């Protein structure tokens, strides 16, 4: 198994997480995740992070300060994501 950083598929992974791949591209990404430990870890982390952000932004009362921090952390996350 190749454990080296895999910058080539990082963009593919982001698109996969965003659900922007077509069916065959998504299959390709899944096959790659099966064989690439680095991307699998990245994927798990990103997915957990996004789930956490969504939960935090949508379900839990939060100080404006924390909201700003979280939003700054990931510019693509905003309270609008849960609508
Ligand atoms: Zn990879």
Determine the distance separating the centroid of ligand 1 and the alpha carbon of 83, expressed in angstroms.
Answer: 32
> pLDDT tens per residue, the chain (83 residues)?
445 677 767 888 889 999 999 999 999 999 999 999 889 999 999 999 999 888 887 776 767 777 777 777 766 655 555 54
Residue 26 lies in a domain: yes
Q: What is the pLDDT of residue 25?
A: 93
Q: How many residues does the chain have?
A: 83
Q: Could you tell me the residue range of the domain that residue 41 belongs to? A: 7-82
Name the residue with tokens 């299959």. 27
Determine the distance separating the centroid of ligand 1 and the alpha carbon of 50, expressed in angstroms.
Answer: 20
Determine the distance separating the centroid of ligand 1 and the alpha carbon of 59, expressed in angstroms.
Answer: 33
Torsion angle of the four alpha carbons 52, 76, 62, 55, in this order, in degrees rounded to the nearest 10: -30
**How many domains does the chain divide into?**
1
Q: How many CB atoms lie within 10 A of CB 30?
A: 12
Residue 1 lies in a domain: no
**Pick from 9, 19, 29: which is nearest to 81 by CA?**
19
Residue 18 lies in a domain: yes
Q: What is the pLDDT of residue 11?
A: 82
Q: What is the pLDDT of residue 70?
A: 74
- pTM (global) more than 0.85: no
């Amino acid at each position: 198994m190749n454990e080296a950083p895999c910058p080539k598929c990082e963009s593919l992974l982001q698109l996969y997480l965003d659900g922007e791949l077509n069916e065959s591209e998504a299959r390709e990404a899944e096959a790659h995740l099966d064989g690439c430990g680095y991307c699998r870890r990245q994927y798990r982390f990103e997915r957990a992070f996004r789930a956490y952000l969504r939960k935090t932004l949508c379900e839990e009362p939060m100080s404006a300060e924390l909201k700003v921090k979280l939003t700054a952390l990931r510019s693509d996350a905003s309270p609008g994501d849960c609508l």
